[in-house]
Copies of this chain bind each other. A is one copy, B any other.
Amino acid sequence: MRYYPVHSGYPSYAEVNRAIEAVFAEHGRGNVQMPAKVYVTFVGDGDFRTMPAYLPALGLAGVKIVNVNPQNHARGLPTVMALTVIIDVETGAPEAVINATELTAIRTGAAGAVAARYLAPRQTVTLGVVGAGRQAAALLEAMDAALEVTEVLVWSRTEKSAEAFAAQYADYNARSVSLEHACDCDILTTSTPSREPLVMAEWIHEGTHINAIGADAPGKQELDPALLLKAEVFVDDRCQAIHSGEINVPITTGRYDPARIAGTLGEVVTGQKGRSSPGAITIFDSTGLAIQDLAIAALAIQNGDGYELPFP
């Protein structure tokens, strides 16, 4: 068994996007075992989630364990920290333990890039960015490996964060703008911890593709429910999205009917589903799948050195 700290030498986004697309294709073909994510909630702040999966065609199995604790920032720790255990599909032995903290942001960015490449009506794009944290950066970099990004319009609740983000991505003509202005784009990505809609339906024009990334637990939402009703909503996984994705609150309040879901990203990349017309508004509702964690863990193992640990 080896431990991979993955502190340097991340795989390139071109590689990651390919690997993530491949596991979504397996998902679209119905060829994965992925039990529902299991949540354990601390009496204090935060929770941790256990995410097992198995991809028979890729010979890949394992579990990601990931926590979310909004108080960690004040402690100088990441809000999200993660570990992936890879299991040998022949013997069941744990064969690798991987620091998946950074990989979690990267694989989530890659899912947004795959969704955008298939669902956006054009491949040269202005990118709107709502939320300017680590996930927003990963989304931009992954997108850049999949499409031509000519301009970036960034909004954050904290203006300073938006300006720092704009400065970091000056090469992409990034600038800090109002929330409404950020929505005037070809592809909008939202990655905030919001529990109230931020993006209003009337701000989104025809043909926009939205990557709704922030909502990954019951009670979270970033988009006006009216926007979901006028859009074609694609999810990463039906069960997870209904439970904890962008659509979870509107479903609970009766404003969105899960029967309206237009398809899954796996169905999109395998050509079974897609946007209905160039003018449609499409939304990718991403909750984050264990199969994405297995895909990027496999890349990290290929690229990394790791430490040998005695086992069993």
Contacts and interface: CB of A to CB of B under 8 A. Distances in A.
Interface of A: 3, 5, 7, 33, 35, 38-44, 46-48, 50, 52-54, 56, 61, 63, 65, 67-69, 71-72, 75, 77-78, 81, 83, 85, 87, 89-94, 97, 99, 101, 307, 309-312
Contacts of A39: 35
Contact of A35 (B5, B38, B61): B38
Given A42-B56, A307-B309, 14 more contacts: A38-B52, A40-B52, A46-B91, A46-B92, A48-B52, A63-B65, A68-B92, A69-B91, A75-B91, A78-B312, A81-B92, A83-B311, A99-B311, A307-B307
Contacts of A3: 3, 97, 309
A138 B218 CA distance: 43
Copies of this subunit: 2
Contacts of A5: 309-311
Nearest to A75: B91
Contact of A87 (B53, B67, B87): B67
Nearest to A43: B56
Given A7-B310, A50-B63, A311-B99, A42 B92 contact: yes
A47 B92 contact: yes
A310 B306 CA distance: 11
A85 B85 contact: yes
A311 to B, nearest CB: 5
A50 B94 CA distance: 12
